[in-house]
Amino acid sequence: MKKPIQRDLFPGALEMMILRTLRRQPMHGYALVQQIKRTSDNVLQIEEGSLYPALQRLLKEDFVKAEWGISSTNRRVRIYKLTAAGGKHLERELSSFERMLKGISLVLAPGEL
Amino acid sequence: MKWLRQLFSRRQIYRELSEEIQTHLDEKTEELMADGMSREDAKQAALRQFGNIGLIEEKSRNVWAWPTLEDVLYDIRYGLRALRHSPVFTAVALLTIAIGIAANAAVFSVVNSVLLKPLNYPNAEELVALHQAAPGAEGLADFENGLLLSASMYVTYAEHNQTFQSLGVWIAGTANVTGMAEPEQVRTVSVSDGVLQTLGVPPAVGRWFSQADQVPNGPRRVILSYGYWQRRFGGDRTVIGRNITVDSQSREIVGVMPQGFRFVDSDFDLTMPLAFNRGQLILAGFGFHGIARLKLGATLTQADADLARMLPIWMDSWSNGPGTNPHIYETWRITPMIRPLKQQVIGNVGELLWVVMGTIGVVMLIACANVTNLLLVRFEARQQELAVRTALGAGRARIIRGLLVESVMLGIMGGFVGVGLAYAGVRLLVAIGPTNLPRLNEVAIDARTLAFTFVLSGLSGLLFGLIPALKYSGPRTGSALVSGGRTVSVSRERHRARNLLVIGQVAMALVLLMSAGLMIRTFGALRKVDPGFGDPQHLQAVRISIPELLISEPERVTRTQKAILDKLSAIAGVKSVGFVSEMPMEGFDSEWDEIFAQDKVYSGDLIAPLRLYKNISPGLLQTAGTRLVAGREMTWSEVYALQPVVLVSENLAREMWGTPSAAIGKHVREFSQMPWHEVIGVVQDVREKGLQEKSPEIVYWAPLVRNRFDPAIRTVTFVIRSERAGTDSFLNEVRAAVWSVNSELPLASVQTVQEVYDKSVARTSFTLVMLGIAGTMALALGIIGIYGVRSYTISQRKREIGIRLALGARGGDVLQMILRQGTKLALVGVVIGIGGAFALTRLMTNLLFGVTAHDPLTFAAVAVLLIVVVLLACYIPARRATLIDPSVALRYE
> Among the listed ranges B26-40, B255-269, B382-396, B608-622, which one has the minimum average pLDDT value?
B382-396
Distance, C-alpha B588 to centroid of its chain: 22
Average pLDDT over residues B6-20: 76
Taking the CA of residue B483 and the nearest CA in chain A, the distance in Å comes to: 21
Residues of chain B found within 8 Å of residue A30, distances taken between Cβ atoms: 23-24, 27-28
Q: What pLDDT is attached to residue B218?
A: 82
Contact A52 B52 (CB under 8 A): no
- Name every residue whose Cβ is closer than 8 Å to that of residue A5 and which is 6 or more positions away in sequence: none
Taking the CA of residue B56 and the nearest CA in chain A, the distance in Å comes to: 6
Answer whether residue B370 shows pLDDT above 50.
yes
Could you tell me if A67 lies within 8 Å of chain B, comparing CB atoms? no
Q: Return the percentage of chain B with pLDDT > 70, whole number.
A: 92
Q: What pLDDT is attached to residue B481?
A: 53
- Give the confidence band of A73 by pLDDT, cuts at 50, 70, 90: confident
Contact A52 B21 (CB under 8 A): yes
More confident residue, B723 or B439: B723
- Give the confidence band of B486 by pLDDT, cuts at 50, 70, 90: very low
B94-107 residue pLDDT tens: 888 888 888 888 88
Contact A48 B51 (CB under 8 A): yes
Contact A30 B21 (CB under 8 A): no
Q: Which of A38, A44, A48 to mutate to test the interface with B (most CBs of B within 10 A)?
A: A48
Inter-residue contact A64 to A28 (CB < 8 Å): no
Taking the CA of residue B54 and the nearest CA in chain A, the distance in Å comes to: 10
d(CA A98, CA A88): 16
Query: What φ, ψ does residue B264 adopt, rounded to 5°?
Result: 55, -95
User: For B317, what's the count of Cα atoms within 13 Å in the CB-facing half-sphere?
Assistant: 18
Q: Which of A27, A30, A67, A77 to mutate to test the interface with B (most CBs of B within 10 A)?
A: A30
Contact A53 B60 (CB under 8 A): yes
B313-332 residue pLDDT tens: 998 888 887 777 788 788 88
B760-797 residue pLDDT tens: 777 777 788 888 888 888 888 888 777 877 777 777 77
Taking the CA of residue A94 and the nearest CA in chain B, the distance in Å comes to: 23
Contact A30 B52 (CB under 8 A): no
Q: For residue B395, which amino acid is it?
A: G
In chain A, residues 26-45 whose CB comes closer than 8 Å to chain B: 28-30, 33
Answer whether residue A3 shows pLDDT above 50.
no
Taking the CA of residue A2 and the nearest CA in chain B, the distance in Å comes to: 16
Q: What pLDDT is attached to residue B128?
A: 93
> Among the listed ranges A69-83, B373-387, B723-737, which one has the minimum average pLDDT value?
B373-387
Please report, in angstroms and rounded to a whole number, the separation of the first and last CA atoms in chain A.
41
Query: Given 3-state DSSP classes, what are the helix, strand and coil percentages for chain A, each rounded to the nearest 5?
Result: 55, 15, 30
Interior angle at CA B791, CA B790 and CA B797, nearest 5: 90
B180-190 residue pLDDT tens: 767 888 889 99
- Give B803's DSSP letter: H
For chain B, counts of helices (H) and of strands (E): 28, 24
Could you tell me if A69 lies within 8 Å of chain B, comparing CB atoms? no
ipTM reported for the complex, 2 dp? 0.83
> Among the listed ranges B234-243, B642-651, B835-844, which one has the minimum average pLDDT value?
B835-844
Nearest to B523 by CA among B293, B770, B297, B290: B770
Contact A53 B17 (CB under 8 A): no
Average pLDDT over residues B538-559: 88
Answer whether residue A8 shows pLDDT above 60.
no
| DSSP string over B467-514 | HHHHHHSSS-HHHHHHHTTS-PPPPHHHHHHHHHHHHHHHHHHHHHHH
Measure CB to CB from residue B24 to each of A29, A60, A76 and give the nearest one: A29
- Closest chain B residue to A74, measured at CA: B27
Answer whether residue B117 shows pLDDT above 70.
yes
Could you tell me if A73 lies within 8 Å of chain B, comparing CB atoms? yes
Contact B56 A53 (CB under 8 A): yes
- Which region holds residue B642: left if phi is over 0, alpha if psi is between -120 and 50, else beta? left
Q: What pLDDT is attached to residue A1?
A: 35
Please state the domain extents for chain B: 2-65, 68-119+348-486, 131-337, 490-530+762-893, 547-744
Measure CB to CB from residue A56 to each of B23, B52, B63 and give the nearest one: B63
3-state secondary structure of A28: strand
Taking the CA of residue B17 and the nearest CA in chain A, the distance in Å comes to: 8
Answer whether residue A5 shows pLDDT above 50.
no
Nearest to B243 by CA among B227, B219, B225, B262: B219
B626-678 residue pLDDT tens: 999 999 999 999 999 888 999 999 999 998 899 999 999 999 988 777 888 99
Residues of chain B found within 8 Å of residue A33, distances taken between Cβ atoms: 24
Q: What pLDDT is attached to residue B484?
A: 46
d(CA B113, CA B449): 9
Taking the CA of residue A100 and the nearest CA in chain B, the distance in Å comes to: 27
A61-70 residue pLDDT tens: 889 888 888 8
d(CA B269, CA B403): 59
Average pLDDT over residues B461-481: 72
- Give the confidence band of A29 by pLDDT, cuts at 50, 70, 90: confident
CATH classification of A13-108, choosing from 1.10.10.10, 3.40.50.300, 3.10.620.30, 3.40.30.10? 1.10.10.10
Q: What pLDDT is attached to residue B487?
A: 44
Residues of chain A found within 8 Å of residue B50, distances taken between Cβ atoms: 47-49
Taking the CA of residue A21 and the nearest CA in chain B, the distance in Å comes to: 18
Contact B63 A60 (CB under 8 A): yes
Answer whether residue A71 shows pLDDT above 60.
yes
Inter-residue contact B444 to B478 (CB < 8 Å): no
Residues of chain B found within 8 Å of residue A57, distances taken between Cβ atoms: 63
Answer whether residue A6 shows pLDDT above 50.
no
- Closest chain B residue to A52, measured at CA: B60
Contact A78 B27 (CB under 8 A): no
pTM recorded for the entire structure? 0.68
Could you tell me if A103 lies within 8 Å of chain B, comparing CB atoms? no
> Among the listed ranges B217-226, B334-343, B798-807, which one has the minimum average pLDDT value?
B798-807
Query: Given 3-state DSSP classes, what are the helix, strand and coil percentages for chain B, each rounded to the nearest 5?
Result: 55, 15, 30
> Among the listed ranges A41-50, B136-145, B275-284, B651-660, which one has the minimum average pLDDT value?
B136-145
The number of residues making up chain A comes to 113
Contact B17 A52 (CB under 8 A): yes
Average pLDDT, chain B: 84
Cβ count within 10 A of residue B608 = 16
Contact A76 B23 (CB under 8 A): yes
Could you tell me if A2 lies within 8 Å of chain B, comparing CB atoms? no
B375-391 residue pLDDT tens: 887 887 777 777 777 77
Contact B64 A48 (CB under 8 A): no
Taking the CA of residue A46 and the nearest CA in chain B, the distance in Å comes to: 9
Could you tell me if A92 lies within 8 Å of chain B, comparing CB atoms? no
- Give the confidence band of B3 by pLDDT, cuts at 50, 70, 90: low
Residues of chain B found within 8 Å of residue A50, distances taken between Cβ atoms: 51, 56
> Among the listed ranges B141-150, B341-350, B872-881, which one has the minimum average pLDDT value?
B141-150
User: Which of B449-458, B469-478, B845-854 ranks highest by mean pLDDT?
Assistant: B449-458
Q: What pLDDT is attached to residue B369?
A: 87
Answer whether residue B155 shows pLDDT above 90.
yes
Interface of B with A (CB under 8 A): 6, 13, 16-17, 20-21, 23-24, 26-28, 30, 49-53, 56-57, 59-64
Measure CB to CB from residue B49 to each of A48, A59, A76 and give the nearest one: A48
In B744-797, which residue ranges form alpha helices assigned H by DSSP? 753-760, 762-796
Measure CB to CB from residue A48 to each of B50, B59, B62 and give the nearest one: B50
Count residue pairs from A and B with Cβ separation < 8 A.
59
Answer whether residue B152 shows pLDDT above 80.
yes
Measure CB to CB from residue B56 to each of A50, A73, A76 and give the nearest one: A50
Residues of chain B found within 8 Å of residue A4, distances taken between Cβ atoms: none
> Among the listed ranges A1-15, B37-51, B237-251, B442-456, which one has the minimum average pLDDT value?
A1-15
Q: What pLDDT is attached to residue B480?
A: 52
Residues of chain A found within 8 Å of residue B23, distances taken between Cβ atoms: 29-30, 75-77
B78-94 residue pLDDT tens: 888 888 887 878 888 88
Q: Which of B63, B64, B66 to mutate to test the interface with A (most CBs of A within 10 A)?
A: B63
Contact B17 A56 (CB under 8 A): yes
